[in-house]
Each structure stands twice: as C-alpha cells, then as structure tokens.
C-alpha cells in the first residue's frame, strides 16, 4: 500500500508547483457534496487527492478517462463480513473489484464464537488488504441471556475493543428490550461507548419505546421493514439504513422515504450477503444499482453509499472527491447501470473490469480451526415429549428474517411430537457447540417446505450454535454429526446419507477456500437442498436466523423456544 505523503508535498502538488503522482484527466467528476457532475482532472499525490480542475497537466502518470465518470469509492455502512462465509482476504477479492473501498462491519458474529481472538483475527487481516475496514465493537456478546455463546463481553471489554485500530463505536444494540427497560448490564455497555457512534437494531420498536431507545444515544437503525416504521425513526432523529441483502430486502418499502428533505439521513447497506450474491450480483454496488433501477437519481444513490455513510461514521476524509481526501476512487463507464471499470485504493489501481489486481498474503489452513465442541448425545435426545395437543410453531415469513408465532395442533407418535410433513411443520434443533454443555433446543418450524431429509448449519446468528431442520430425527442427527466432523459448515442429508456439504473450519463460520470454490460448493448445497422439497429461496440464510432471539416473534436457541416480544423462554 502507498504510504501517506507529507502535508507540504501534498500542498505543493495542490498549488501546481510539484507534479502529481497520478492525474486522471478528461473525467466527469461526481461531486457528492452538492450532487452535481463537474468536468476536469483529478490530481493524486501519494494516497491523497491533491486537487481537481483543469490545471493539473504534470504527473508521473496520466490516465485519460475519455469522459468516464469518477465517483468516490463506495462505502457499505453496515455489514457483517462473516455472513459471506469468506475469509477476509477472499472477501476483499470479491468486493474491491465491485467498487467497495470501505466498509463498517460489526464483528459480533466471530466475536460470539471466539471473543477477542476472533476480533484480532479480522483486524490483523484487514491491515493487509486494499480495503478500509472499520469496526464496531460488538454490543451483544451474547445477544441475550437466553442462549449460549462462545464468549462474553462486558463494559471493560467494550472499552478495550474501542482502543483497537479503526474501531469507530458500538455495534448494533440488539437487546432493545434491555435498553428500553434500563437493564444495568446493557446500560453499562452503552456508557462504555459514550461519545462514540452507537448503532441500533430495533425491529418494530415504535412510540414511547422508540423514544426511550433513541434517548440512550443510539443513532441509526437497519431493521425497518415498513414505510411507516422508517418514517417514524427518521423523525426521531435516527439515520435510516436501507438494507438490501441476501435475506432481508427492504429497499422497496423504504426507498419512497428518500427525498430532498430526508436523503442526508439515509444510507444504503447490505447487512448480510452470501458469497454467491457477492460473486453474481455484487456488494453495495448492487444496492446502488437497484435503487437507480427503482427510480432514484444515480447521483443521489451514490451519495447514499458514499458521503452519507462517511459523515455518519465521522470519516471526514472519505466519501467525496475533494482535496485532502483519501484517493479511493471508482471510474464508471455507464452511470445509470453503474458499470464500474477501474478501482483505485489510496491512489493505486487495485481492480479493473471486475478483476482484482492484487494478491493477498497466503491463508493458513489452521487459523481458528477448532471451535466445534459438542457434548456427545444420542438421536433420542432430539425427541420432544408430547404434553398437550398443541405446540408453539415458528412460522417463516417469505423474504424477511422476522417470524410469526403460531400455536398448531401437532402430530404425535409414541408419546412424542413428530414432524407433520403434509402441513409443512418440521423438527427444528439447536445444539450448543462452544462449551459442550449438552444443551439442545428442540422446536417446530413452518415454511421450509422439506419433504424429506434435513439441513444443518454451524452459522446460526448470533451465538452460532448448530441449527438443523428436518423431516426426521435420524437425518437431523447425521447432519449435525457431519458438521462436527468438518469443524463447522453446512450440510444436506437424506436417508442417512450426506448429499452435499460445505466445510467452514474457520470459527465454524468461514472457508479458507477461494471465492469461486466456496460459491460453487454453496450453490451446489442450495441446489441439492431444493431437491428435497419445495424450499423457499436462500434456505440456509433463513435457517441461520432461526436461532436469533432479538428478531420477533418466535425463535429457538440451545436453551429452548424464545418469545421475543415477551423476551422470555417459553
């Protein structure tokens, strides 16, 4: 990476007294400050922009853009890179050619598995990549008291994390009932980040509860699913993060809220994106592209993925093409289609025509490769005794990560509850995998559409125990055992046979394999899973959120069934 140059040299280039290192001439420059397009040159000195205009003709290198547009590098203001299942190095190879120059990632996935070992793993890798990774200290490790995680973080740990490089503030505060009701532990976490940015997570929170949540100093939310909810949160002073990821898609509902009065308070974000979507559709560029297709002005769409994110996170030298700003730039050949050609990181060309021009350091196959620890159990441990004729059922909501609470008449055999395949009511299991406690949560789910077999995953937000869904206990059991053997991953099993698998040995969340290899295996997983019935899109993504007890209405953790609205185990 280029080293920062002296201020004196930067000013000399800006004045025109010293030749620039690089000049991009004949550019149509997208000015994100005022939303206009200007024509001229961009002079770069080291890792900084020295100036713009038509007065820079001397440089060590000159690239004639021939009228191409130039925009600041894109910024994803809220994501979890672990959701891609890619090692940080492979993640950079996937997103940098797409124009992503910076991102803000909340590391609560890998932290819930491995604590500070997980944090340091990502931070150390980030320093080796041509991508600005900024971090939010995980606020909820674990997310609630109703699950078992691999680590715990208290207020002193938050303060420790905030002293690490590129940590900007406190990650999404998912325990919104704890905030609203003044839980002492939750408030101690918030106070530890006083004066920093505090991100929110408040699905369906409105009225006085929302007022209390905002009063705690929480400044944003990415969980809005309706126009009315987004409007209220904007009016309460929150930044509205408009999410369009692999699982949760809120662009249609929230984009109508973006207008001349509100757009400065809106950001486009990914939150969670699969490796397959990153390769085939793109990163934050895909959200910008969709927003343009849905009628948002292209320059405004770019503002929502550059300067708005930079200003919200106090990154005052990014998000615009301006003297003194970091030279993270993208060239665009077709603005309405957002066709990105060249990507510059700190003044250096790092990708072109969708291809990376950099090679990360070699990945070790043994990094964080021993995190699956399960207490031995038999298939009989998966049985659910039938005590009544009805039982609470988690119902999947298509296209969303929220669920519905249902109470259904159940199918009983030999005194135990069994799946009712005709009614699409399947067995759901969560097995604790961090401390070998022997905890096994058992429940029922509706909406997966399996007619035979089972799916299992060691990705289960946010504590990442092993979650499995299936039509019978034996396939569920075999799928879980295969995950244990692989030290983490995804599995499709039917008739006692493993039909497809994707090993994720890094913390049970990530693969060290190349992007294309992971995508090929992942797509084969989804294709194989689809053959077991009439499954919804992205079944493994849906499965990964079934154990998250901070998204309404009903969830399953290793401790049992959670009523999120009541915030208790039932």
pLDDT in tens, 516-542: 999 999 999 999 999 999 999 889 988
Q: What is the DSSP letter of 448?
A: -
Write down the pLDDT at residue 4.
62
Phi and psi (nearest 5°) for 209? -65, -40
Ordered by where they begin, the domains of the chain are 1-67+319-349 (2.30.40.10), 73-315 (3.20.20.140), 379-569 (no CATH)
Write down the pLDDT at residue 248.
81
Return d(Cα 317, Cα 253) in angstroms, integer: 32
Strands (E), 346-437: 348-352, 355-356, 384-385, 390-396, 403-409, 411-413, 416-418, 425-431
Write down the pLDDT at residue 473.
97
Global pTM reads 0.91
228's tokens: 């009315």
Write down the pLDDT at residue 551.
83
Write down the pLDDT at residue 247.
76
CB atoms under 10 Å from CB of 280, counted, come to 11
Write down the pLDDT at residue 423.
95
Kindly give the parts of the chain with pLDDT less than 50: 1-2
pLDDT in tens, 279-310: 999 999 999 999 999 999 999 999 999 999 99
CB atoms under 10 Å from CB of 49, counted, come to 27
Write down the pLDDT at residue 1.
46
Write down the pLDDT at residue 400.
76
């Amino acid at each position: 990476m280029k080293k920062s140059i002296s201020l004196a040299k930067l000013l000399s280039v800006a004045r025109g007294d010293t030749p620039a290192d690089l000049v991009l001439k004949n550019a149509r420059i997208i000015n994100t400050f005022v939303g206009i397009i200007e024509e001229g040159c961009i002079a770069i000195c080291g890792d900084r922009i020295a100036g713009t205009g038509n007065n820079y003709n001397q440089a060590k290198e000159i690239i004639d853009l021939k009228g191409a547009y130039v925009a600041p590098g894109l910024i994803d203001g809220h994501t979890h890179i672990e959701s891609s299942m890619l090692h940080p190095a492979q993640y950079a190879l996937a997103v940098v050619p797409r124009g992503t120059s910076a991102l803000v990632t909340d590391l609560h996935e890998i932290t819930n598995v491995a604590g500070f070992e997980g944090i340091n793993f990502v931070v150390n890798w980030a320093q080796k990549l041509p991508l600005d990774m900024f971090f939010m200290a995980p606020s909820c490790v674990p997310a609630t008291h109703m699950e078992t995680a691999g680590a715990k973080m208290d207020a002193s740990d938050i303060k420790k994390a905030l002293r690490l490089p590129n940590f900007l503030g406190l990650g999404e505060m998912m325990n919104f009932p704890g905030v609203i009701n003044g839980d002492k532990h939750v408030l101690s976490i918030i106070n530890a980040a006083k004066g920093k940015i505090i991100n929110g997570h408040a699905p369906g929170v409105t009225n006085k509860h929302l007022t209390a949540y905002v009063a705690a100093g929480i400044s944003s939310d990415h969980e809005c699913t309706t126009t009315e909810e987004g409007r209220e949160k904007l009016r309460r002073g929150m930044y509205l993060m408009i999410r369009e990821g692999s699982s949760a898609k809120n662009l249609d509902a929230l984009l109508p809220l973006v207008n001349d009065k509100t757009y400065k308070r809106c950001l486009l974000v990914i939150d969670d994106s699969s490796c397959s979507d990153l390769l085939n559709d793109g990163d934050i560029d895909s959200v910008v592209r969709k927003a343009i297709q849905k009628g948002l002005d292209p320059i405004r769409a770019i503002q929502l993925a550059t300067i708005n994110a930079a200003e919200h996170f106090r990154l005052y030298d990014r998000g615009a093409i301006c003297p003194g700003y970091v030279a993270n730039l993208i060239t665009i050949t077709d603005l309405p289609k957002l066709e990105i050609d060249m990507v510059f990181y700190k003044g250096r060309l790092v990708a072109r025509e969708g291809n990376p021009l950099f090679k990360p350091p070699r990945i070790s196959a043994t990094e964080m490769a021993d995190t699956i620890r399960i207490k031995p159990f038999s298939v009989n441990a998966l049985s659910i005794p039938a005590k009544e004729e009805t039982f609470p059922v988690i119902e999947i909501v298509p296209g969303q990560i929220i669920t519905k609470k249902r109470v259904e008449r159940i199918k009983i055999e030999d005194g135990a509850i069994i799946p009712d395949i005709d009614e699409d009511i399947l067995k759901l299991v969560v097995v604790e995998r961090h401390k070998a406690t022997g905890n096994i949560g058992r429940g029922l789910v509706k909406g997966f559409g399996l007619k035979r077999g089972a799916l299992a995953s060691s990705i289960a937000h946010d504590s990442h125990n092993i979650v499995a869904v299936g039509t019978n206990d034996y396939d569920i059991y075999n799928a879980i055992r295969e995950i244990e053997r692989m030290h983490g991953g995804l599995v499709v099993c039917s008739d006692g046979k493993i039909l497809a698998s994707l090993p994720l040995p890094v913390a049970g969340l990530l693969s060290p394999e190349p992007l294309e290899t992971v995508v090929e295996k992942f797509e084969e997983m989804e294709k194989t899973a689809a053959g077991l019935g009439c499954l919804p899109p992205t079944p493994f993504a849906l499965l990964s959120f079934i154990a998250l007890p901070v998204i309404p209405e009903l969830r399953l953790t290793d401790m049992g069934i959670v009523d999120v609205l009541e915030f208790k185990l039932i």
